[in-house]
A and B are shown apart, each in its own frame.
Chain A
Amino acid sequence: MQPVATTFFFYFLSGLTLIAGILVITRRNPVHSALALILALLGQAGLYLMLYAPFVAGVQIILYAGGIMVLFLFVIMLVNIEKSQKEEQFNKQWVVGILAAVALGVLFVLVYTKGKSLFPDRVAQLPEQSNTQQIAVMLYGNYMFTFEIASLLLLVAIIGAVVMAKKRI
């Protein structure tokens, strides 16, 4: 089936993601922030779908929106929200923050103005039907070693978390 109203969906999804992203940092209530983050992640999943990567979109929904964010909410709910809302929010990192934001902005402008020569101007036409298979070939064929190292890193993280959480092993 040919895609319909591509422009509309692109702007709709990116707008959704951006607005939700702004809400994440402006809400005082951490639960509202977390919910806005979920919305941003879902918008991102929609953008992946538009890039003909349904597998990545599905994994994004399962892992981030359905798994990690549930754990986030789980932890936030154990915090006394009324108390945390009244406390003064302090961070002394705004200088670093502004520098990082400016650097990122400059990078965006550079990519937007000079991107034509840096990147190929055509999107790779991957067939949507074989997206899952192609990712599997990449992960378990071309980039097997990196993939295994990343999984080893995760295993170490799991063991570390268990060691820290348990008093006696």
Chain B
Amino acid sequence: MLEYIKSYLDSNTTPGQAGNLFWASVYILLIFLGLSVAVIAMNWLERKILAHMQVRLGPMRVGPHGLLQPIADAIKLLIKEDIMPSQADGFVFWVAPIVVVITAFTVFIVVPFGPTHAVTDMNIGVLFMLGVSSLSVLGIVTAGWASNSHYPLMGALRSSAQMVSYEIAMGLAVVSAVLMTSLNQTGTGTLSMIGIVQSQQVQQIWFAFKFFPLGLIAFFVFAVAMVAETNRAPFDLPEAESELTAGFHTEYSGFRWSLFFLAEYSAMIAVSSIAVTLWLGGWLRPFPHLLSGSTWDLVFSLLPGITFLLLGLMAFVGVFRMPKHPYFRVQTIGLAGFGVVLGLIGLLLFLPPVRDRIQDVFWFSAKVAFFMYLYIWYRGTFPRYRFDQLMKVGWKVLLPVGIGVLILTAVAGVLL
């Protein structure tokens, strides 16, 4: 047994390819855990950042600076009554949130957090991610229909039309990135997620900057389409609360609703990681060739620890700004404890063995986190599109631009 566990550590592939069930399960558990933590963190961050953008305070009551608010919300949702509309289609109503959650989490088995840090590497990685995430629309549509209510049905119809039309633009952008893996280089192209990042490493350029400005335009098309795919503002018409109450999940309550919530955020993380893998160099650190050499390697390897130390420092700034009233004593101590934990994690990341192993995962997560911040930023700043405008943007702008970029990329690859 121990031999079996140890045997993987020598191999230089992902556990799925090595066929090691133990490590595959460990990776799946880690990713599941990390995703849950990320969703909880996103819940808190989204409310806080939106609030600060609108000059509000956001959640402040539960825990210091509302840090325990997501946990309180989760407990509330778990113990809430689970209501099913009387005329609803029971089985479909029950199965829809499960479909959405399963598809949202299944995608992550091919996400490359590092050259070997993925559950498995598939020959059709990108295709698998697009396919499985396109299945989630089925869950949304059936959820809206099974509720037997008008607002959810309208939300479901909008959602299906929107996702089907933006999937095409998204696919075209992805194809032009896949095309870049084979161009300018001997050897064949690849659809595997790890292969795509490796070809960026070999070609010494992130695909967003390849064939300037073609890569950048394809990246932009994908970045718009991915917001529409995940039903987020400014394309959140399926759940436009001013028109449709809550869209397709109006009739869902309690735990089932929280499944939709979980799926939405993990789908956001999933499409962001596709974008990071295809255009922003996946796990590669910035400027690996311009700023090469052992000194720069050391500087970049210290960054994860420094990031956590800075976060800890911010928590301590919060401690000193806490009101000095005895009512706030528990909160102040809690915040100081949180800062200490963050600082300890930062110090742990300075240890050489940890530091070398965490590099890939840190850079990948940092790039994904940037996209998550963009999502919140969009929501805070852009007004919602009207439905005909949404369709116009999808079919008359993104689709022709996507096709044009695809053709030009092929031409550039042949000529340059």
Given contacts A1-B16, A70-B137, A74-B161, contact A55 B167 (CB under 8 A): no
Q: Which residues of B contact A70 (CB under 8 A)?
A: 137-138, 141, 160, 163-164
Answer whether residue B227 sits at the interface, using C-beta atoms and an 8 A cutoff: no
Q: Which residues of A contact B167 (CB under 8 A)?
A: 66-67
Q: Which residues of A contact B153 (CB under 8 A)?
A: 77
Q: Is the CB of B130 within 8 A of A62?
A: yes
Kindly report which residue of chain A lies nearest to residue B13, judged by CB atoms: A1
Answer whether residue A2 sits at the interface, using C-beta atoms and an 8 A cutoff: yes
Closest Cβ–Cβ distance, residue B214 to chain A (whole Å): 22
Q: Which residues of A contact B163 (CB under 8 A)?
A: 70
Cα–Cα distance between A78 and B6 once the two chains are bound (Å): 57
Answer whether residue A50 sits at the interface, using C-beta atoms and an 8 A cutoff: no
Cα–Cα distance between A23 and B163 once the two chains are bound (Å): 27
Q: Which of B119-127, B255-263, B339-347, B371-379 contacts A (4 or more CB under 8 A)?
A: B119-127
Q: Is the CB of B19 within 8 A of A54?
A: no
Count of A-B residue pairs with CB < 8 Å: 83
Kindly report which residue of chain A lies nearest to residue B136, judged by CB atoms: A66
Q: Is the CB of B138 within 8 A of A1?
A: no
Against B, the Cβ 8 Å flags (1 = close, 0 = not) of A25-55 are 0000101100100100000000000000011
Against A, the Cβ 8 Å flags (1 = close, 0 = not) of B111-134 are 000000000001110011011101
Answer whether residue A155 sits at the interface, using C-beta atoms and an 8 A cutoff: no
Q: Is the CB of B191 within 8 A of A66?
A: no
Which residue of the partner chain, among A55, A62, A65, contacts B138 with CB atoms under 8 Å? A65
Answer whether residue A132 sits at the interface, using C-beta atoms and an 8 A cutoff: yes
Which residue of the partner chain, among A2, A29, A74, contacts B160 with CB atoms under 8 Å? A74
- Chain A interface residue count: which class? 20 to 34
Answer whether residue B92 sits at the interface, using C-beta atoms and an 8 A cutoff: yes
Cα–Cα distance between A73 and B92 once the two chains are bound (Å): 13
Answer whether residue B17 sits at the interface, using C-beta atoms and an 8 A cutoff: yes
Answer whether residue B145 sits at the interface, using C-beta atoms and an 8 A cutoff: yes
Given contacts A31-B145, A70-B160, contact A62 B19 (CB under 8 A): no
Q: Is the CB of A77 within 8 A of B124?
A: no
Cα–Cα distance between A70 and B191 once the two chains are bound (Å): 25
Q: Is the CB of B124 within 8 A of A132?
A: yes
Answer whether residue B5 sits at the interface, using C-beta atoms and an 8 A cutoff: no
Answer whether residue A69 sits at the interface, using C-beta atoms and an 8 A cutoff: yes
Q: Is the CB of B138 within 8 A of A38?
A: yes
Q: Which residues of B contact A62 (CB under 8 A)?
A: 127, 130-131, 134, 171
Answer whether residue A59 sits at the interface, using C-beta atoms and an 8 A cutoff: yes
Answer whether residue A14 sits at the interface, using C-beta atoms and an 8 A cutoff: no
* Additional A-B contacts beyond A61-B134, A66-B137 (15; CB < 8 A): A31-B89, A31-B92, A54-B122, A54-B124, A55-B124, A62-B134, A65-B131, A66-B134, A70-B137, A70-B138, A73-B138, A73-B142, A77-B156, A77-B157, A129-B123
Q: Which 3 A-B pairs have the closest CB atoms?
A: A66-B134, A58-B127, A1-B19
